[in-house]
Amino acid sequence: IHELCHLIHHDHTQKFIDLQTKEMKDWEKWKMKLEKLLA
So what's the pLDDT on residue 33?
97
Contact 2, 28 (CB under 8 A): no
For 5-30, write each residue's pLDDT tens digit.
999 999 999 999 999 999 999 999 99
Contact 28, 22 (CB under 8 A): no
Say how far apart CA 10 and CA 38 lie, in whole Å: 25
So what's the pLDDT on residue 31?
95
Q: How confident is the model at residue 36 (pLDDT cuts 50, 70, 90)?
A: very high
So what's the pLDDT on residue 37?
97
